[in-house]
Amino acid sequence: MCSILGIFGLQPGDDVSALRRHALELSQRQRHRGPDWSGVHLDEGAILVHERLAIVDPAGGSQPIRSADGQLVLAVNGEIYNHRELEAGLPQPYEFQTGSDCEVLNALYRQDGDVCGWLSRLNGIFAFALWDRASQSYLIARDPVGVVPLYWGHDGAGRLCVASEMKALVGTCNDVAQFPPGHWYDSATGELTGYYQRPWRDYDATTGVEVSAAELRDAFERAVHRQLMSDVPYGVLLSGGLDSSLVAACAARFARRRVEEDDRAEAWWPRLHSFAIGLDGSPDLAAAEVAAEALGTVHHGFTYTLEEGLDALPEVIRHVETYDVTTIRASTPMYLLARRIKAMGVKMVLSGEGSDEIFGGYLYFHKAPDARAFHEELVRKIDALHNYDCLRANKSMMAWGVEARVPFLDVEFLEVAMCMEAAAKMVGIGADGRLRIEKAVLREAFAGYLPDSILWRQKEQFSDGVGYGWIDGLKAHAEAHVGDREFAAAARRFPVNPPQSKEAYFYRRIFERIFPGEACAQTVPGGKSIACSSPAAIAWDAAFANAADPSGRAVAGVHQAALA
């Protein structure tokens, strides 16, 4: 994964040398995403800059990628997991210039005029800008869920700018905004079009659809296997919770063979390494040790102190580009862990984001009144992932040049898991008369893969699992640095999404210093990702409306009261 920056709409009178220097300066703000190499393309209509993190074809996959005739220029941040199948299915031969998995985008653009069609066939995480010199037009697109970030806006001369991170456009684009997931923009028509519309979004399309434990397990194993595509050392994040442990368990089964050679050759780095972090004595560190021992990974458990976490907050907010309370709480230990992982020479990790949104893992799902409401809330949560967990995982890791991949959000796995009848995912009493806790259908599918203490470990938010003293310390720190009078005037100082707690105010103050202006503030929806603040959750149980803290332990009295 890398970073891209594009400036489109250059005019004959523009000082292209000055614009090129400006584009390089903007791109340098996100070079942490791509520390391995920089590439620039400049012509009469566009500038594309690419900062590369080399994971596939590290010796020859530099970008921007140009077609053999020089007419197509592509800058991509991402991975196309099914690139070999797409290349094999091309209707005509294409003269590839690199071994990059992303170059297939140029071929598809040239040979298939149905853009929505070929974008829908991609299985990957991506954000890209493709410049067509012959038509002086460009195409911009982002992956279906928004695993990879992308921002756009216009400079003072009306030129359209696009970048992987908002910080690259601050001060240049007063209208900076997120580019929406699952969409593409065609400069020739000026239209922004959604391409990812799946039948499972409608509850009625899922009623009566049965997915066996074997089907669910096989689909997830295939997703993990696909995402082990790498020519550099990789590992897994292992918190000891269900989701990261399942990712690690599946990865451990495939780690000894090389995916890019159809498992015929031994992997270049056959030992799977796993990574965890927490305060001294944290629940996650203890559980991760149990999971790692069972799976046989080379495990690395790191500790951090409250002071180290507090010291990192300004840099965390600068990198993750949000003032959302839950996201910052969880991003900080992840940011510190990424630095450790980078120091060990690992450039890619698999992570467990997305499972709770697909299977209803958050505790307020216990209160869902029926399967339709349950399913509709799952869809809403998936649609919001790009603002929360995907943003956290991507930007916290990429702050140190480590790519995070998320097998639960693999589009082929999503197709299987989200087509399943929602009633099968809900908590309640099973046919055997026993209570089925959240994500029971997923746990049952992987019986025997993990120790029962891990397989049936109940939901714990990452920011809680690293140690309950972390959240308490953040609150106390904010209380000491935000005065009562200052907080009372929060709505006047921050009219966009006014902070609802002193902790939120503290983060917002840092955010505003780095990302001034109303447009930047509006890229963060609500500024409060507290799960139980969702309209659906409040409708399910009015008590959720009064929950003021997004910590998992504050939601419905944690696990026991969630079933009351």
Q: What one-character-per-residue DSSP string does 219-272 give?
A: HHHHHHHHTT--SS-EEEE--SSHHHHHHHHHHHHHTTB-GGGTT-SB-SS-SP
Do 394 and 148 meet the contact criterion of CB atoms below 8 Å apart?
Answer: yes
Distances (CA, A) of 429 to 83, 368, 441, 551: 44, 14, 13, 27
> In terms of residues, how long is the chain?
564
Active site residues: 2
Do 558 and 283 meet the contact criterion of CB atoms below 8 Å apart?
Answer: no
Give the residue from 323, 324, 340, 466 showing the smallest Cα distance to 399: 340
Strand, helix or coil for residue 436: strand
Do 463 and 551 meet the contact criterion of CB atoms below 8 Å apart?
Answer: yes
Cα 135 to the center of its chain, rounded Å: 33
Residues of the chain with CATH 3.60.20.10: 3-197
pLDDT string in tens for the chain (564-residue length): 799 999 999 999 999 999 999 999 999 999 999 999 999 999 999 999 999 998 888 887 789 999 999 999 999 999 999 999 999 999 999 999 999 999 999 999 999 999 999 999 999 999 999 999 999 999 999 999 999 999 999 999 999 999 999 999 999 999 999 999 999 999 999 999 999 999 999 999 999 999 999 999 999 999 999 999 999 999 999 999 999 999 999 999 998 888 878 898 988 887 899 999 999 999 999 999 999 999 999 999 999 999 999 999 999 999 999 999 999 999 999 999 999 999 999 999 999 999 999 999 998 999 999 999 999 999 999 999 999 999 999 999 999 999 999 999 999 999 999 999 999 999 886 666 667 889 999 999 999 999 999 999 876 655 566 877 999 999 999 999 999 999 999 999 999 999 999 999 999 999 999 999 999 999 999 754 444 457 777 788 877 766 656 555 444 444 444 444
Q: How far apart are the first and last CA of the chain?
A: 45
**E-only strand ranges, 428-521:** 428-429, 435-436
Residues of the chain with CATH 3.40.50.620: 211-468
Do 275 and 345 meet the contact criterion of CB atoms below 8 Å apart?
Answer: no
d(CA 260, CA 257): 9
Strand, helix or coil for residue 541: coil
Do 427 and 296 meet the contact criterion of CB atoms below 8 Å apart?
Answer: no
Give 3-197's CATH code, choosing from 3.40.50.1100, 3.60.20.10, 1.10.3720.10, 3.10.129.10: 3.60.20.10
HSE (side-chain half, CA atoms, 13 Å) at 259: 24
d(CA 57, CA 38): 15
Report the CATH number of the 211-468 domain. Answer: 3.40.50.620
Axis-axis angle for helices 468-481, 502-514 (nearest 10): 70
